[in-house]
Amino acid sequence: MGTYLVRRFLQLAVVILLATMVIYALLNAVPGGPLSGVRQELINTRGATGANVASDMARLQRDFDLDLPVWQSYLRWLIGWPKLADRPNRGGILFGDLGDSWQVARGQSVASLIQSRLGNTLLLMTSATLLSLLVAIPIGINAAVRQYSAFDYLATTGAFFGTAMPVFWFGMMMIMIFAYYFKQLGWFYLPTGNAVALRPYDVPFLGTVLPETILDRGLHLVLPTIVLSLLYMAAWSRYTRTSMLEVLRQDYVRTARAKGLVERLVISKHALRNALIPLVTIIALQIPGLFGGAILTETVFNWPGMGRLYISGLNAGDWPLVMSLLFITAVLTVVSNLLADVMYTFVDPRIRLS
Amino acid sequence: METVDNILEIHNLKTYFFTEDGEVHAVDGVDLEVRRGETLGVVGESGCGKSVTFMSVLRLVGMPGRIVEGNVVFNGQSLLELPESEMVQIRGNKIAMIFQQPISSLNPVFKVGDQVAEVFETHQGLNHEQAVQRAVEMLAQVGIPDAKRRAESYPHEMSGGMAQRVMIAMGLAMTPELLIADEPTTALDVTIQAQILDLMRALKERIGMSIVFITHDLGVVAEMADHVAVMYAGQIVEYTDVGTIFREPKMPYTQGLLGSIPVLGVIKDELDSIPGTVPNLVDPPNACRFAPRCRARVEHGLTICEQAEPQLLPVGSTTHKVRCWLYHDCPSLNYVAPHSTGIAAEPRLEPSATPARA
């Protein structure tokens, strides 16, 4: 196990290094260069012939290392080396210096920007993941145990609905029904978006809700969580069903029945324990998502999380921000893959890492 | 007629599988009894319904299979009418079953000791510690060396022979009255096979249980069984004691099976084989299932075999039963058998069946 982990960490380092090269190369390959958006902005505000456009661009290019050879600017972004006297030097992304935002919050460090969004995303993603698992696994088990029953067909149809439903449409429908119409009718209603309210509001049954209380946060969480969960539930209930069907055919399930175990125990102990093993991968690979957020859901619900931060960064051409988020996702993805492999050894005694 | 003490009686058992291609008559009217204290060998080729018959006895046949007709009487109690809550008290307790692939029959994520212990927890209500202790005793009884340590093993860490011993320990934990062994040695190599057979014989003596030994290996039958039932295409085609089956098999299928075994000291260029393949069991006709492959039918020029379904009836002694038109007459079709025993069958007929020309 020890040597295995060492080997895996070395592989992991190589993969991350390759990922940084790809990230850096792709964002530098944007047509017109990384600063094309900034140049357009300068031209729009000052006119195409404005003399200072060229000098401003030159200054910006120097500030962002774009005047250097690519290998040099890449290394300076990656590890903060070589140090140069004529411009600000940084620590390098590998050492945790993510740089400063250019556009989304000009001058603010990417790290503080992420810090302000991470909590919201973790809250949303964790509740959606937990809710989905709690609903999807029992649905999958029941659908498998009663294969081709009315329940199974219902679950299948529901899963197709969940997968096929575009989040931007389904999310807006939910807002329309539960936030808008319900409020119009004077019923209990939910907030349309955001993570917290700005001022107190009245909800039937609950009375006045004060901003930033747990109740306020909870109410704001409901709709985005449901919309996001529907997608996960659809996929995960299918995985569970397939895995369970596979296990129910196994000889050891027959043995458990022949032993005289009641069917409930055969399913919940002998079959389920085996059926959940493949779900380890799914749960582990959900980890990057927990930090990365959900772009569509966060956009529809105006949720101040990482997914929306990423989209605003892309739209604004805020490359340090985008590269940092891509880098973090890459690291989390390879680490959670390793984590999944290690977790397998705990849930499946047949697997030994060597 | 002598009175016999049967621990298990199967009457006209029919288990069908309802598939998209039609009803598969996997078990189609099986009548069988197991006497108390004896070993019954059930022989037949793969897919003849021998396993499904005894899975039906324990009511372990899952969808799309269903027991459509028949009766199973165990110790005077009709198993097919019991509620599931009482059936679970019989499984693994009064009737135990062990299977062909010992390693895949054990749950890969639990220690073998815990899996044996579960039987004690289920049927005796022991707590986990007591149950594990009893399980270790059981494992030692079935000849697993260093049982206490081996109880901590997972199935994949064991050899096939050891895993089958674990299955036997699990099966015999509650000293059942009947053990159904479904090809327990098929997946094992020959020396291990002999060890397992010896073990089963020794434990049978000690516990005094009855055994149903399902196999396609006639050598194993000769060694283990008191009576033998030969199955073909979902039906019993011959039933008699083990001596008779080897000395004077009556049914052409049984004769074919025995002819296909190499005999030590006899030089043959080629072993006999039965021509053709096992019939498709989807909606079978009212005819002899073996007729298309039967040499005796051709030799005697019989047409009845394809018009009427023979019945399992005595020939000679009352304990020797055969399902074959060579031995039984059919008055309704004016048919007299070539080796008539004077016993008449009243079979189900094909619609096209016509009386034989006298």
**Minimum CA–CA partner of A147 in chain B:** B63
Model confidence at B358: pLDDT above 50: no
pLDDT band at A17 (very low <50, low <70, confident <90, very high): very high
Nearest-by-Cβ selection for A252 from B84, B106, B122: B106
Task: Name the burial class of residue A242, with classes exposed (0-12), middle (13-18) and buried (19+) by CB atoms within 10 angstroms of its CB.
Answer: middle
Q: Which fold has domain A111-347?
A: MetI-like fold (1.10.3720)
Nearest-by-Cβ selection for A260 from B92, B101, B105: B92
Which tops the pLDDT comparison, A288 or A34?
A: A288
Enter the pTM of the model: 0.84
Query: Would you list which residues of chain A are within 8 Å, Cβ to Cβ, of chain B?
Result: 147, 250-252, 254-263, 270, 273-274, 277, 347-350
Would the CB atoms of B99 and A251 count as touching at under 8 Å?
A: yes
Q: Can you tell me the mean pLDDT for B199-227?
A: 88
Range from A11-25, A54-68, B26-40, B205-219 carrying the lowest mean pLDDT = A54-68
Residues of A in contact with B109 (CB under 8 A): 273-274, 277, 347-349
Model confidence at B1: pLDDT above 50: no
DSSP state of A65: T
Model confidence at A57: pLDDT above 90: no
Alpha-carbon span B104 to B124, nearest angstrom = 26
Structural domains in chain B, CATH included, are: 6-233 (3.40.50.300)
Nearest partner of A321 among A72, A24, A98, A20, judged by Cα: A98
Which tops the pLDDT comparison, B274 or A264?
A: A264
Q: Can you tell me the mean pLDDT for B293-304?
A: 82
Q: What is the ipTM of this complex?
A: 0.85
**Span B71-121, pLDDT tens digits:** 999 988 888 888 989 889 999 889 999 998 889 999 999 999 999 999 999
**Span A168-224, pLDDT tens digits:** 999 999 999 999 999 999 899 999 988 898 899 988 888 888 988 999 999 999 999
pLDDT score recorded for residue A47: 73
* Residue A253, token pair as written in the block: 């399930």
What is the per-residue DSSP string for B228-262? EEEEETTEEEEEEEHHHHHH---SHHHHHHHHTS-
**Minimum CA–CA partner of A251 in chain B:** B105
Amino acid at site B207: I
Q: What is the dihedral of CA A276, A278, A282, A283, to 10 degrees?
A: 40
Residues of A in contact with B97 (CB under 8 A): 258
Per-domain residue ranges for chain A?
2-99, 111-347
pLDDT band at B42 (very low <50, low <70, confident <90, very high): very high
Q: Are A92 and A78 in contact (CB under 8 A)?
A: yes
Nearest partner of B7 among B74, B58, B80, B64, judged by Cα: B74
pLDDT score recorded for residue A264: 92
